[in-house]
A and B are shown apart, each in its own frame.
Chain A
Amino acid sequence: MNSAIELEEFLHAAQEFVKKSDEIGDGWSIKECGDDKSKTFLKKDLYVEHTDDNNSILLKMEYIIFYNLSYGVPAFSFNIWNSSGTLLSLEDVRKMSFIQISQKDFYSVITQQEHPVFQRPYFIVHPCHTEELLATFKNKSQNIIVTFLGLITPLVKLDLPLKYGL
Chain B
Amino acid sequence: MSDADNREEIIQYVPFISFVHPSFWHTLTEIKLNIDKLNETSKPIYGRFTYRDDIGAVFEVDGTSFNKVPETEHLYTSVKGTIINKNTVEEFKSIDKAALLNSVGKTIWENLKEGTWIDKPSSLLNFFIFSFADLKKFHYFYWFAFPAPSQPTVYLTRKGSCITSAFTNKQLEDLAQSYKALDDEQKCFFSIIKENDTIQVQTLAQFLRQTECHLAINAVYFVFQDPSNGVNPGWALRVFLAALLDYCPTLIGCNINVIGLRCNIFGGVENSCIFSVKIPVDVTKSDAAGWVGWERNDKGNFGPKLANMSASLDPVVLADTSSDLNIKLMKWRLVPDIDIEVMKKTKCLLLGAGTLGCQVARDLLAWGFRHITFLDNGKVSYSNPTRQVLYTHEDCLNGGKKKAEAAADNLRRILPSVVTKGIVAHIPMPGHPVGESLREETLRNIKIITEAIEEHDVIFLLLDSREARWLPTALGASYKKIVINAALGFDSYVVMRHGAADGSSTAGSAYTNAKWISGGDLGCYFCNDVTVPGNSLQDRTLDQQCTVTRPGLAAIAGALAVEILVAILQHPQRELAPAPYNLSDEGESIPGLEGVLGPVPHAIRGFLHSYQTMLPTCPKFNQCVACSVIILNNYMAEGSEFLLKVFNSGKYLDDLTGLSQWRLNAEMTEVLTLTDDDEETSDI
Contact = CB atoms under 8 A, between A and B. Distances in A.
B25 A85 contact: yes
Interface stretch (A3-11, A106-114, A138-146, A156-164): A106-114
A58 B23 contact: no
Interface in A100-124: 107-108, 111-114, 118, 120-121
Nearest to B334: A108
B329 interface: yes
A137 interface: no
A58 B26 contact: no
Contact of A79 (B22, B264, B311, B331): B22
Interface stretch (B12-20, B149-157, B365-373, B442-450): B12-20
B58 A108 contact: no
Given A58-B58, A107-B332, A111-B329, A85 B322 contact: no
A86 B24 CA distance: 11
Interface stretch (B269-277, B300-308, B490-498): B300-308
Contacts of A87: 22, 311-312
A33 to B, nearest CB: 12
A108 B142 CA distance: 37
A107 B327 CA distance: 12
Contact of B22 (A27, A29, A85): A85
Nearest to B21: A85
Contacts of B308: 84, 86
A39 interface: no
A86 B26 CA distance: 11
A34 interface: no
Given A58-B19, A108-B332, A118-B23, A85 B309 contact: yes
B58 A89 contact: no
Nearest to B333: A108
B322 A89 contact: no
Contact of A111 (B18, B142, B266, B325): B325
A100 to B, nearest CB: 18
B26 A120 contact: yes
Main secondary structure of the interface of B (DSSP, over half): mixed
A71 interface: no
A126 to B, nearest CB: 9
A114 B26 CA distance: 13
A: interface residue count bin? 20 to 34
A29 to B, nearest CB: 8
A47 interface: yes
Given A58-B56, A112-B325, A121-B312, A85 B333 contact: no
B17 A83 contact: yes
B617 to A, nearest CB: 37
Contacts of B264: 25
A63 interface: no
Interface string B19-40: 1111111100000000000000
A78 B17 CA distance: 23
Interface string B48-63: 0000000110100000
A27 to B, nearest CB: 7
B344 interface: no
A107 B330 CA distance: 11
Interface in B104-142: 140, 142
A94 interface: no
Given A85-B24, A89-B311, A60 B322 contact: no
Contacts of A47: 55-56, 58
Contacts of A86: 22, 307-309, 311-312
Nearest to B311: A87
A53 B386 CA distance: 58
- Top-8 shortest CB links A-B: A84-B307, A85-B20, A107-B332, A25-B265, A108-B332, A85-B22, A121-B312, A83-B19
28 contacts: A25-B264, A29-B74, A47-B55, A47-B58, A58-B58, A60-B19, A60-B21, A81-B22, A83-B19, A84-B20, A84-B140, A84-B142, A84-B305, A85-B24, A85-B25, A85-B309, A86-B22, A86-B307, A86-B308, A86-B309, A86-B311, A89-B311, A107-B332, A108-B332, A111-B329, A112-B321, A113-B325, A120-B26
Interface of B: 17-26, 55-56, 58, 74, 140, 142, 264-266, 305-309, 311-312, 318, 321-322, 325, 328-329, 331-333
